[in-house]
Amino acid sequence: MSLFRKAVFHTTVANLQDLPMDSVCEIAFAGRSNAGKSSAINTLADHTRLAFVSKTPGRTQHLNYFTLAEGKYFVDLPGYGFAKAPEEIRSQWESLLGPYLRHRTTLAGLVLIMDSRHPLTDLDAQLIELFAPSGKPIHVLLSKADKLTRMEQAEVVREVKAGLLQFGSNCSVQLFSSFNRLGVREAELILGGWLGMEVPDDVPPPTGLRTEKAARPKNRKAIGWSARVGKKT
């Protein structure tokens, strides 16, 4: 059973002064548009459509709060990089994202979602640079890992670990897939630790993990996948 199964939508915030006052501890999710951020939140919460799995990536400029337990939140940050000019990204980061990441005292850590096929882009690096001075932890989920072979998975973890070294020691990284739930337990343990939430022992280990490459013939949609996280874009 998911640690975050009680997650419910709380509020949408467009201005810093509207951030929830009752927050004790929150975890923010960031990443390039279409990296699989909403899918990851849905998968961690074991919900189909808690965070909207976007058909038009990069549209929302708001912070979406999901209550996990009293005073404890997941925060879905605006996706970045999708068909946006550098000035637009800069102004978005300066007005909302930057101040939020730097000054939100109840923010326990940042989950950074990167598509495992295109990890650690320049914008990802800029976001890490923005957040790292806070001294708080960053946990990278290499999403859509089902699209890689086992060898490619091992290689990308090695590469990203090496790439993160320049940002200090407070970064960790793991594979993740909302398609086959690879890495859900590992992520739960880390995020539960940040939030001071106890992970139940009765969570069965994931079984029958498959890679999308191995499991799905080319051009065929995986049955059940769209149902789990909403429609594909």
Ligand X SMILES: Nc1nc2c(ncn2[C@@H]2O[C@H](COP(=O)(O)OP(=O)(O)O)[C@@H](O)[C@H]2O)c(=O)[nH]1
183 interface partner picked from ligand X, Mg ion, none, CB below 5 to 8 A per type:
none
SS3 43: helix
* CB closer to ligand X, 77 vs 190: 77
Using only C-alpha atoms, the chain has a radius of gyration, in whole angstroms, of 17
Residue 117 interacts with ligand X (CB under 6 A): yes or no:
no
**Whole-number minimum distance, CB 155 to ligand X, in Å?**
18
Residues 165-204 that bind ligand X (CB under 6 A): 177-179
Bridge partners of residue 32, in order along the sequence: 80
Residue 126 CB neighbours (<10 A): 15
Residues 61-90 that bind ligand X (CB under 6 A): 79
Residues 15-54 that bind ligand X (CB under 6 A): 31, 33-39, 53-54
Q: Is 17 exposed, middle or buried (0-12, 13-18, 19+ CB in 10 A)?
A: exposed
Residues 9-68 that bind Mg ion (CB under 5 A): 37-38, 54
Cβ 113 vs Cβ 40: under 8 Å: yes
Residue 178 interacts with Mg ion (CB under 5 A): yes or no:
no
By beta-carbon distance, which residue lies closest to Mg ion? 38
**Whole-number minimum distance, CB 56 to ligand X, in Å?**
9
How would you write 124-178 as a 3-class SS string? HHHHHHHHHHHCCCEEEEEECHHHCCHHHHHHHHHHHHHHHHHHCCCEEEEECCC
| Residue count, binding to Mg ion (CB under 5 A) | 3
Encoded tokens for 74:
């997941």
Place of tokens 């101040």: 99
* CB closer to ligand X, 79 vs 119: 79
Q: Which residues bind ligand X (CB under 6 A)?
A: 31, 33-39, 53-54, 57, 79, 143-144, 146-147, 177-179, 212, 229, 232-233
Q: Which residues bind Mg ion (CB under 5 A)?
A: 37-38, 54
